[in-house]
A and B are shown apart, each in its own frame.
Chain A
Amino acid sequence: MADWRPLSGWRLYWRYVGQSLRAQLQYRGSVVLLAVGHFLITGGEFLAVWALLDRFGSLRGWSLAEVGVFYGLVSIAFATAEAVVRGFDVLPGLVKSGSFDRLLLRPRSVTLQVIGHELQLLRLGRWSQGVVVLAWSVAALQVDWTVGRVLLALWTVIGGACLFSGLFIAQAALSFWTTETLELINILTYGGVETAQFPLSVYRPWFRAFFTFVVPLACVSYFPGLAIVGRPHDAPTALLATAPAAGLLFLGASLLFWRHGLRHYTSTGS
């Protein structure tokens, strides 16, 4: 048994993922239906955008295809976050049922175990819908797919997924203190998705400032989106391209808050 090595955290994560997928595939039909339903419901959202722009032609100078780029990027990022860190979203339930104490009783990172708790296949619905919208939009815009643009789009989705994950994690951490104000964060999360699906320039200045500096959604959609769509802009392209890093910073801050919440939990046990 000389070649045996214990699973690293990363490999344990994939074990969890495999386990979670197998558990969901016990109900194969249900997973397929849920994902299709999710695809149709979120697709309905885009139909509303289409209806709006079809009626008015453009939204403050943005065409449907341009809006579609922002919409697609944000949807993919959000669906990724929803699928991966879903465990944090259901944390209040885990705490209430006592399952959370069980995680603390295992000699592994609590964060890793919460993430591994559930990887939701049904989120493939929104994810693939985002991909379809993005693909159609860039085709309609005849975006020139340079390597730089492809990498920027990927980087934007990564930053966005980190930002939304950060929101889920911050919400979970907050639930260690109170379960009464969680709806507030939900407004930020789900409201943020809807907000960032449009180019941010259509909103009022204070609103833009909030989603740039407090919850930096603009950094993972609007700014890099400008560069991808190829709109003329007055900010340096390099700045637009580094903006998604704000998502990573936000995630980092959320994780620190989460650790603080964990410490609070073990001192109150409630």
Chain B
Amino acid sequence: MPQIRVEDLRKTFDIAVRQPGLWGAVRGLLHRQVRHVQALDGVSFNLATGELVGYIGPNGAGKSTTVKVLAGILVPDSGVCEVLGRVPWNQRAAHVAQIGVVFGQRSQLWWDLPVVESFELLRDIYRLAPAPYRQTCDELIGRLDLAALLDVPVRQLSLGQRMRCELAASLLHRPAILFLDEPTIGLDAVSKLAVRDFVRQLNREHGVTVILTTHDMDDIEALCSRIMVIGSGRILSDGSLAALRAKVSGERRLIVDLEIPDLAVSDPEAAVVQVDGRRVELRFDPARTPAAALIGRLAARYPIHDLFVEHPPIEELIARLYEQQR
């Protein structure tokens, strides 16, 4: 049985259209003009226990609406949603005791208080017994390296330090499911890696299901075994990164560093994407010309210093997926 079951979820928002100017505001009071926005237009998916899924899409595609429904803070217009056998919005308190939510852009810690006081308040809010709380807390402090931060008021923490504390705060009650919304936004490279390592470990070793919404494709590539792409309220693609690539385009990139700069490189089976000094990037379809053949042809004609083959960046795949759906 899936841990999360979502079937044909629909949600429309009515957004009041504001007329410009004072007269418009007065008219708006008397006669509200409303625009309907279909935020979710038949979203369905299942998640099994212990999955780590990336949920991606542009702003306004329906990502946060889905997460809000799963978290029990928004009631959809229609459709089925079951998380851990419960309908989230029907039993809010019982439901939210089983999930953890981290918003990268909003803190859940008490701004003026030392970190440890936030943890203790959360212990009381979640009604955690002292012994298991102590154990979880120590474990999180160890793994996220928080010992030196506990007595620091939250407002004095750096963003990276705060994010580590946020992760700990959302896991004190040992949720079965963790929602991560842009957990690496604004973080420096070292902190990003620390957050990713922690999330991976949490998922692999503790079997916590993780739903990650992000615009950072490196997060997705580093963490997710499954990627769901949403656009205009619909799931456009759901599967592994390899499957997404196969679905959108099998194209590869060949990046060549030449011995001499500014050579006009061309090949009948490949197209130049960009030239940057000695570096030339070509795209080709391996079904039409194998990489080895292409490299052979180029090496025969140009002085090559170094080369490597890679996939097109995920951003480009996603952008193309949207174009295909349009």
Contacts of A98 in B (CB 8 A): 103, 106
Instruction: Encode A96-117 as 1/0 by CB contact (under 8 A) with B.
Output: 0111011011111000000000
Contact between A269 and B74 (Cβ–Cβ < 8 Å)? yes
Q: Mark B112-150, 1 if CB is under 8 A from A, else 0.
A: 110001000100111101110000000000000000000
B126 nearest CB neighbor, chain A only? A107
Sorting the interface of chain A by its residue count into under 10, 10 to 19, 20 to 34 or 35 or more gives 20 to 34
Rounded to whole Å, the gap between the CB of B102 and the closest CB of chain A is 10
- Cβ 8 A contact of A266, one of B13, B14, B89, B112: B89
- A106 in contact with B73 (CB, 8 Å): no
In whole angstroms, how far apart are the Cα atoms of A4 and B130 in the complex? Answer: 8
Q: Tell me if B110 counts as interface (CB < 8 A to partner A).
A: yes
B17 interface residue (CB < 8 Å to A): no
Q: Which chain B residues border A142 with CB–CB below 8 Å?
A: none
Q: Does A268 contact B (CB under 8 A)?
A: yes
Chain A residue numbers with a CB within 8 Å of B108 are 102
Contacts A97-B106, A269-B68 known; A107 to B117 CB distance under 8 Å?
Answer: no
A24–B112 Cα distance when bound, in Å, is 8
Q: Counting CB contacts under 8 A, is B65 at the interface?
A: yes
Residue in chain A with minimal CB distance to B153: A26
Given contacts A23-B112, A99-B106, contact A104 B92 (CB under 8 A): yes
Task: For A270, give the chain B residue with the smallest CB separation.
Answer: B13
Closest to B93 in A: A107
Contact B73 A104 (CB under 8 A): yes
**CB of A7 closer than 8 Å to a CB of B:** yes
Contact size range, B: 35 or more
Docked complex Cα distance between A101 and B89 (Å) = 13
Q: Which residues of A contact B292 (CB under 8 A)?
A: none
Judged by DSSP, the binding face of B is mixed
Does A267 reach chain B (CB closer than 8 Å)?
yes
In the complex, B75 has a CB within 8 A of chain A: yes
* Chain B, residue nearest A27 (CB): B112
Q: Taking the nearest CB of chain B, how far is it from the CB of A54, in angstroms?
A: 43
Q: Which of A24, A98, A104, A268 has the most CB of B within 10 A?
A: A104
Q: Determine whether the beta carbon of B131 is less than 8 Å from that of A268.
A: no
**Residue B94 lies at the interface, judged by CB distance under 8 Å to chain A:** yes
Is A12 in the interface zone, CB < 8 Å from B? yes
Say whether, besides A105-B96, A267-B75, A19 and B106 are in contact (CB < 8 Å). no
B183 at the interface (CB under 8 A from A): no
Contact at A101–B126, with CB atoms within 8 Å? no
Q: Which of B93, B111, B125 has the most CB of A within 10 A?
A: B125
Q: Mark A1-34, 1 if CB is under 8 A from B, else 0.
A: 1001011000110011001001110100000000
Residue ID in chain B nearest A113 by CB atoms: B125
Q: Is the CB of A101 within 8 A of B68?
A: yes
Check if B62 is an interface residue, CB within 8 A of chain A.
no
Contacts of B113 in A (CB 8 A): 19, 22-23, 26
Q: Which residues of chain A from 10 to 68 have any CB-CB distance to chain B below 8 Å in the complex? A: 11-12, 15-16, 19, 22-24, 26
Q: Closest CB-CB distance, A270 to chain B, in whole Å?
A: 7
Residue A183 lies at the interface, judged by CB distance under 8 Å to chain B: no
Decide yes or no whether B189 CB sits under 8 A from chain A: no
* Shortest Cβ gap from B243 to chain A (Å): 32
Interchain Cβ contacts under 8 Å between A and B, 6 examples: A1-B129, A12-B124, A19-B121, A101-B68, A107-B126, A269-B73
Which residues does B use to contact A, with CB under 8 Å?
13-14, 25, 29, 65, 68, 71-75, 89, 92-94, 96-97, 99, 101, 103, 106, 108, 110-113, 117, 121, 124-127, 129-131, 153
